[in-house]
Amino acid sequence: MKFIHIADMHFDSPFVNLSDRESLGDIKRLEQRKVFNKIIEYIKENKIEYLFIAGDLYEQQYIRKSTIEYINKLFTEIPETKIFISPGNHDPNIKNSYYNKFKWSNNVKIFNSNFEKIGTEEADIYGFGFNDFYCTNCNIENLEIQNKNKINILVIHSTIDGANLEEKQYNSIPKKILEEKGFDYVATGHIHKLDYNTYENQKIVYPGSTVALGFDELGKHGMIVGDIKKDSLNLEFIPLNETEFVEIKIDVTEILSNDELLEKINSINIEKNQFIKIILIGKRNFEIDVYAIYKLVENMQIIKIKNKTKINYDLGKISKENTLRGLFAKRMLKKLNEENLSEEDVNIIENAIEIGFQALE
């Protein structure tokens, strides 16, 4: 049987922290629609029998009825495809959600907070959905496969092997327990990074977010296409990006002015589908006015500039001065030369040096 597995579409996400450019949120929301339409067209062309949506299809706080109607209209265009949705922490199956108050296409099954099995001719599909914005225990220990001779698939939004307190609030499930259950495929979501085929015959899969939502989601995004039999599993990742987030680092050590830096930024070769974050690194020889530079950048695809440079102080030379600056430099040099400093320790000391010299000016 053929299936598509997606997760973490986050329809109608506000994208408020992505950029100062006002139109970017609208561009990304339009991209979400384009990508979802691509998925439906792929299903039609390839006669895909199942669509698994493993949570966070939309943003409960921001979702518009018109968007739900758009999604459902596309579902009605693939009536022969069985669609299974596992609500997640951003689109929980709560009382006032569209999962409850909207009439979905007949080929759509939406799971709730009790494990449920839907039997089809080809497979048994098990599913679980969030009924709140948090889930600390889905009681998967009590779930048992009823017919191990069939293809058994689990659709669930979860954190596999969640270790810290935050991760455990989002349906943390030990991988060992999932493996012991014996599912032929686990379609999961929540982690926005692609994780499949990292070892032979991987059965527990994160497709990653279908559309990249920000600069913490670099690289390609898309869907998993699978072909499963009881004794075999073939998976393929298909990128769907309309746009891609890219980070570019610029070392300012040899740059002597804001004008020169702006010229360097404006000379970057940027592909048409890319959104760029510039990260300034190195030792700076001048005060960098990020806001002023940002306003003068020629390419509108550069949507963020982050200054991670350090002031180019010669601590050895300054430490020889018979001044407060000299005394401060001498003490900070001693700090930097201490043994067993971590990278974090060095960063803290360097920040303290910069703040200290600014205070002494």
The structural domains of the chain, ordered by start, are 2-239 (3.60.21.10), 244-360 (no CATH)
Any bridge partners for residue 4, and if so which?
51, 225
Region of 326 (left: φ > 0; alpha: ψ -120 to 50; beta: rest) is alpha
Region of 231 (left: φ > 0; alpha: ψ -120 to 50; beta: rest) is alpha
Is 110 exposed, middle or buried (CB count within 10 Å of its CB: 0-12, 13-18, 19+)? buried
Task: Render each residue's pLDDT in the chain as its tens digit; 361 residues.
Answer: 999 999 999 999 988 777 666 678 888 999 999 999 999 999 999 999 999 999 999 999 999 999 999 999 999 999 999 999 999 999 999 999 999 999 999 999 999 999 999 999 999 999 999 999 999 999 999 999 999 999 999 999 999 998 788 888 999 999 999 999 999 999 999 999 999 987 777 999 999 999 999 999 998 999 999 999 999 999 999 999 889 999 999 999 999 999 999 999 999 999 999 999 999 999 988 888 888 898 899 998 999 999 999 888 888 999 999 999 999 999 999 999 998 888 888 888 888 888 888 788 7
pLDDT of residue 286: 84
Round to whole Å and give the CA distance between 345 and 193.
30
User: Do residues 312 and 353 lie in contact, with contact meaning Cβ atoms separated by under 8 Å?
Assistant: no
Round to whole Å and give the CA distance between 181 and 159.
17
User: Do residues 184 and 233 lie in contact, with contact meaning Cβ atoms separated by under 8 Å?
Assistant: yes
pLDDT of residue 8: 98
User: Do residues 331 and 353 lie in contact, with contact meaning Cβ atoms separated by under 8 Å?
Assistant: no
Round to whole Å and give the CA distance between 75 and 81.
8
Among the listed residues 312, 313, 290, 316, the one whose alpha carbon sits nearest the alpha carbon of residue 303:
290
Q: What is the pLDDT of residues 207-230, one digit of tens each?
A: 999 999 999 999 899 999 999 999
pLDDT of residue 212: 93
User: Do residues 149 and 165 lie in contact, with contact meaning Cβ atoms separated by under 8 Å?
Assistant: no
Round to whole Å and give the CA distance between 144 and 152.
11
Instruction: List Cβ neighbours of 259 (8 Å cut-off, separation of 6 or more).
Output: none
pLDDT of residue 20: 63
Is 183 exposed, middle or buried (CB count within 10 Å of its CB: 0-12, 13-18, 19+)? buried
pLDDT of residue 245: 93
pLDDT of residue 21: 67
pLDDT of residue 48: 98
Round to whole Å and give the CA distance between 90 and 232.
33
